[in-house]
Amino acid sequence: MTDLEYVVRAIAQTAVDNEKEFGDLDAVVGDGDFGYSLARGFEIVLAEWDGFDRSSPAAFLQKIALTISKRVGGTSGPIWGTAFLRASAAVKGRDELTGADAVAMLTAAAEGIKKRGNSDVGDKTLLDALVPMTDAIANAGPGTPAEIAKVAADAARTAADATTSMQAMRGRASYTGERSIGSPDAGAVAVAVMAEAVARNWPSQ
């Protein structure tokens, strides 16, 4: 299994394993469907895992994106599908991926989410964990993939925790106004939990 396959599979498994946690977080200020939607979509990814095109990293990510877009309900489908699609485009033509490619994929994913969700850092969305995590990877300097993954996880967790004091400006949570202050954003927490799972189980080289 390549590093890319490992990361995507870890993300998918985490979405399935944490369905209740993510749903409960979303229910505080949203409609509570985030955990369910994400889990159902990534269940399909895991079920169809062996059949995905692995001719190139871009082809693999594109198939993941299409699966998510078709199978994940609510707003999560377009958002997460766009993230994987943009990541795919960022490494088109590449056969082997580097650390710089990882940053490029995450940056492209974040930009896609910003455009698709009409949101930005500070709006209390998953971007508030994804962007700081990406910046941490970009600034990490030399290190093994496992070491960089730990840096990413730590940055994502710190950033996700910081959303607790923020007021939601986008999505259903924004309708609650100041009541959205006091609990972390479900999407940001999901990014952190996924990053932690990636770091915790990184395969020995």
Which CATH number do you get for residue 21?
Answer: 1.25.40.340
Q: Is the pTM of this model over 0.75?
A: yes
Range picked from 33-37, 43-47, 166-170 for highest mean pLDDT: 43-47
Total structural domains within the chain:
1
- As a whole number of angstroms, the distance between CA 21 and CA 174 comes to 20
What is the number of other CB atoms lying within 10 angstroms of the CB of residue 161?
A: 14
Report whether pLDDT(180) > 70. Answer: no
Residue 23 domain-assigned (yes or no) = yes
Residue 108 domain-assigned (yes or no) = yes
Nearest to 143 by CA among 64, 62, 205: 205
Residue 60 domain-assigned (yes or no) = yes
**Of 195 and 69, which is predicted with more confidence?**
195
Give the mean model confidence (pLDDT) for residues 67-89. 89
- Domain membership of residue 60 as a residue range: 3-200
State residue 175's pLDDT score: 46
Percent of the chain whose pLDDT exceeds 70: 91
Give the mean model confidence (pLDDT) for residues 44-58. 96
Residue 205 domain-assigned (yes or no) = no
Residue 138 domain-assigned (yes or no) = yes
Give the mean model confidence (pLDDT) for residues 50-57. 96
First and final CA of the chain: distance in angstroms?
A: 11
Query: 31-40, 60-69, 118-127, 189-198 — which is least confidently predicted?
Result: 31-40
Report whether pLDDT(62) > 80. Answer: yes
State residue 75's pLDDT score: 78
Mean pLDDT of the chain: 90
Give the mean model confidence (pLDDT) for residues 74-90. 92
Residue 142 domain-assigned (yes or no) = yes
Give the residue carrying structure tokens 């300097």.
141
pLDDT of 96-141, one tens digit each?
Answer: 999 999 999 999 999 999 999 888 999 899 999 999 999 999 999 8
Structure-block tokens of residue 15: 């979405």
